[in-house]
Amino acid sequence: MDEHPTSWWIHISATVQECAKHLVNYIPHIVGTPNMAEHKYYMVPRSPYINDTCSVITFGIGGDISSEEHIRRALPTCTFLGFDPNSDYKSLFTNVLGGKYVQAAVAGKTGVNTIMQLGKSDYGAVGNTPVKSVAELIETHHGKDEIIDILNIDVEGYEYSIFDSMLSEKIFHNVCQFNVEIHPPWFHDTGYSYYDVIKVFRKLIQKGTFVWVQSTAHSGQFYPSYFVNVKNSICIEKYLKGRLF
C-alpha cells in the first residue's frame, strides 16, 4: 500500500471514472440530479417497472431535498423516508416532499457518539448523542426484507462505519443503488485513518455486491459517489436486465 495514502485519496474521483467508464455506457438510464455541488445519481427502472412503487431512503437530510424532489418528478410513485437528528427538517421532508421523517442520528452501530449536526449556518459537534445503526432503522421503519430502490447517505464521516456494516448486515443486499458523500477522514473525528478507509473500500469492492459507478470531486476532497447492486436478483430484473446483464 502507498506510504502516503493521501496521494491516493485525492485521485478517488478520477480513479472511479476511469475504472467505470465502459460500465456507464452499458447503463444508459443513469440520471444525475441537478445539484450542483453534491451530485446524486439514480437509474430509472426498466419500462415494465416504470410505474411500480419504489422506495427512497435518505440518511442525513441536511436541509436540502432537491435531489429527492428531482426523483419524485421523474418517478412519482416513489415513497420517501428520511432520517436526521435535526427536527427542523421534519416539515421540509413531510410537508414539501410528502415523505415520512424520523428524528435519529445514524452510524454503522448503535451507541453514543459525537456527531456533526447542521445548524442554521454550519456544522457543529454535538457530543454524547445516541446513534442508531442504519440496519436497525431500515428494519424498523421500512422492513427487513423490503427492497430499497434508492438509498442516500450524507452523515458527515459516519459513512465509514456504515460501509463496514454493509460487509456483514444482510439487509443492505436489498439496496438496489445508493449515493453517499464520502468525507476525508481528517474532516471529522471518524475514528478511521486513511489506511482504514482504503481497507474498507477494498473489502466493499471485493465483496462484489456493489459496483462503484460514479464519483465526482466536491470542494477538493469530498466525493459524492454512486454505487449499483449487481447481485440482488430483484434489483437486476428491475434495473439492469438488458442493460448490464
- Which uninterrupted H or E stretch holds 105? strand 105-107
pLDDT higher at 37 or 183: 183
Whole-number CA gyration radius for the chain = 17
Q: Which of 87, 84, 172 is nearest to 136 (CA)?
A: 172
Q: Can you read off the three cell numbers belonging to residue 14?
A: 478520477
Length of the chain in terms of residues written:
245
pTM: predicted TM-score of the whole model, two decimal places: 0.91
Starting at the edge strand found earlier in the chain, the sheet holding 111-118 runs 105-107, 123-133, 111-118
Domain 5-240, classified CATH 3.40.50.150, yes or no: yes
Domain limits, the chain:
5-240
Q: Can you read off the three cell numbers belonging to residue 240?
A: 439492469
The model's confidence at residue 2, banded by pLDDT at 50, 70 and 90, is very low
| Averaged pLDDT for residues 45-72 | 93
